[in-house]
Structure 1
C-alpha cells in the first residue's frame, strides 16, 4: 500500500521473517484521529523532495488505515452468516431445553404418584406381604410383585435424576448459545462503527493524496511514478520465460522452485493496472489486493490484508526466496509485493502509480511468506 518516495534505496535488514510477522501485530495499529489531523494540517512543502517525503508520510498512514478498513470489511462480510448460525444454535438449544423440561415434568408426575400412594398407605412392606399370604405359593407371588413394584419405583427415581441433569444441561446450553449470539451481534455492531470511522479517515487521507498527485506536472508525476526505481519488463517475453522454467521444473531442472506459471504470471499480467485503495481486481488493485487476486487465479485462497498474508504463510528467509513468495515491507507490514526472481518484485504501489516491477530491496523488508 505505502511506498518509499525518494531516489535512494533503503538498506534491507535481514530479520527473521517469522519474528517480523509476529512483531507486526503489535506495530500495525491504525493511526489515531489526532495523528491524522496533525498530518493533514501540516504545511505542504514547496520543494518537490520535501513534498515526496510528505507524501510518503501520508501514504504510510493511509496504508495502515486501509489495511484496517479491509480487515474489518472482511470480518463483516461473514457477519450475517455468523449471526444466523449463532441464532440457529440458540433456537436449537431452546427447543432441546423445552423438550427436556417436558420430559422432566412427566418424570415428576410418576414420582409424585409413588409418594402419594405411600402417603395413603397403598403400599405394603415386604414382610407384611409375605406374612399375610395364604400359602407358600401366594407368598412367593406377593414377594415377586412387591420386588417388581420396588424396581419400578427405583427406575422412576433414576429416570427423574437423569431428566433433571438433562434439563439443567439443556438450559445451560441454551443460555450459552444466547450469550454467544448476543456477543457476536454486539461485537459486529462495534466493528461496523469502527469501520465507519476508519473509512472516513481513509477518505480524508486518500483525498489529500489524490489532490496532490493530480496536481503534479508531467515531470513531477514521472518522478512520483519512478520513486521506487521501476524496472521495464517485456511481459510477453517474461511470461514465456516463466513457461520455459515451469517446463524445466517437470524435467528435474535445478531452477524449478517457485510458482512460475501460476501466481507470478497472474500478477505480471496486471502490470500497468491502476491503484485503488481496498481494490482486489480484476482491473484495479491495492498492494495486498494484487496478491490476493493473483493467488485466486490458481485456486489458492490467501488472507486479504498485508500483515495477514505474511503471518498466514510459511515464513521464508530472504536467502531462500522463490518466485511467488510474498514480501512484506515496513514496520507493521503495511505493504506487500510478490517476488518474481532475479531480485525483483511486482507490486501495486500507490495512487497514480501503476502496477510495476521494482527491485526487491527498494523498500525496507519486514518478512516474507510462501503459499
Structure 2
C-alpha cells in the first residue's frame, strides 16, 4: 500500500476527534448549569472519551504492525545487499581470470596445450558462470531496489501512524480535562452524582474500578472477599481479580503489589491506603474521592480522601 493511501485511511481518526472536541465543549450561555445539564455533558464527554480511547488503542496496534513490517523490510534489504556484494566479488574474480587467460592468442594456447579439451571446458565454464552471474547481478539489483522501496514505505507508514497517535493522544487529554472539569462541577453541586457517573479509561485499573463500583451498597463483612460482601482489602482483591490480576487479601501485601505513586498522580482504580499501619484501603475514584468497604455495620460507598490519615497510593495496572 502506498504511504499516501495509508495516511488517508488513518486520517479519519484525527478528523473525527477534532469534531468530538468541538461538540464536547461545555456551553457558556448558562454560567450556572443545572445538575441535569452537567450530568448530560459529563455522559457525552465520557462517551466521546471512550471513542477516542478505542481509536488510540487501534492506532497503537497499527503502529506495532507497521514497526514490525519496517523491521522485516529492513532485514530483507540488508540480505539482498549482502547477496549482491557476494556475487559482485565472484563476477569480478571470474572476469579477472578470463582476462588473464585471454592474454595469449587462443589458437596458440589451444595448440600448445597438453590438454586442449580441458582448456575448452575451462573457457566454456568461465563464460557460462560469467553470463549466469551477470544475469543474477541484475536480478539481485532489482530485488535490492524493491526491498529498499519496501523498507522506505514501511518506515514512512510507521512514522505516519506514530504522528496520528500523538495527535490523538493530545486530543484525548483535552477531552479528559473537560470531563474532569464538568465532573468536578457536578460533584460540587451534588456529591451523590459521582457514583452515578461512568468510569473513563480502558486500562485494567479503570476496568477493576467499574467492577468495584457495581458493589456500592453491599455490606461490609470482616474477612469477606465477595461477591456479595466485602472487607476493605477483599473488595480491591475481588475487583482486580475480575480483570485477571491477583492480589493478596491483606492491605500490607497489596501495598507492595505495584508502583508507589504520589497523591498528585492518582488515577481512577489506583489503590489508596490509610493509617501508619495501613489497616484500611480503597480504590481512587476521582475528584478527591475513593471507593471502600469501611467497617462493620457500613456498606461499600464513596468517601472523600480529605480529613483521613492518608498513607500513600499504589498503581497496580
Instruction: Provide the TM-score with structure 1 as the length reference.
Output: 0.44
Instruction: Provide the TM-score with structure 2 as the length reference.
Output: 0.50
By relative contact order (CA 8 Å, sep 6+), the higher-ranking structure is 1
